[in-house]
A and B are shown apart, each in its own frame.
Chain A
Amino acid sequence: SAVISQKPSRDICQRGTSLTIQCQVDSQVTMMFWYRQQPGQSLTLIATANQGSEATYESGFVIDKFPISRPNLTFSTLTVSNMSPEDSSIYLCSVDSREQFFGPGTRLTVL
């Protein structure tokens, strides 16, 4: 299994600002995933991030709103841009090594 850390663990942000979430893995992985978990809901995949290529976004999510970087095989960032209260969620990164393992999540509150 992989050990995954995320920063920050939580944040409270003002409407219209942006937040970058970092995800660090303790081993090299090909694919990293970013999910959103809204209050009372399950996990929804935002995008898949492969090193050396553009991220692949799911329906309903766009690069301008959720830009992703994947500079190497152990690290990725997700930016939530021009935030509104509807972006208040837990954001999770995961990695796939036969099974998907998840980070602890970033709890974002937008006022």
Chain B
Amino acid sequence: EDQVTQSPEALRLQEGESSSLNCSYTVSGLRGLFWYRQDPGKGPEFLFTLYSAGEEKEKERLKATLTKKESFLHITAPKPEDSATYLCAVGKSGSEKLVFGKGTKLTVNP
């Protein structure tokens, strides 16, 4: 069964304190690994897609990396506006469906 596990469930950082979020996955044939940001009361906002082990993508203070078993979302020098829930999802080869993890709620204090 395809599974996505995110850790930690919640993370509190001080502004400027860099850290990483983890997404472990098991899937039979990876189509892509997706990261989303979700603010309270809103739908998920697409951030990145990673397709193969070793791939990295960056956007502002965020950098996503992928191995064969997990993905990391690195946050460098975060700001309070980076506070949100970050969701990880996997897509399986031959399917358009996504399987989501439960998310990591990130709080960045000024």
* CB-based contact B96/A99 at 8 Å: no
Evaluate contact between B46 and A101: CB separation under 8 angstroms.
yes
Q: Encode A41-53 as 1/0 by CB contact (under 8 A) with B.
A: 1111100100000
Q: Nearest Cβ distance between residue A77 and chain B, in whole angstroms? A: 17
Contact of B43 among A42, A45, A96, A102 (CB under 8 A): A102
Q: Is the CB of A103 within 8 A of B102?
A: no
Given A42-B87, A42-B100, A96-B96, does the pair A105, B46 have CB atoms closer than 8 Å?
no
A94 and B42 alpha carbons, distance in the complex (Å): 13
Residues of chain A contacted by B11 (CB below 8 angstroms): none
Our pick among A45, A92, A103 for the contact of B97 (Cβ within 8 Å) is A45
Partner of B98, one of A1, A4, A100, A103: A100
Neighbouring A residues of B97 by C-beta, 8 Å: 33, 45, 48
In the complex, the chain B residue whose C-beta lies closest to that of A93 is B43
Given A31-B96, A48-B97, A107-B41, do A100 and B46 touch, yes or no (CB 8 Å)?
yes
Complex interface: chain B residues within 8 A of A4 (CB): 43
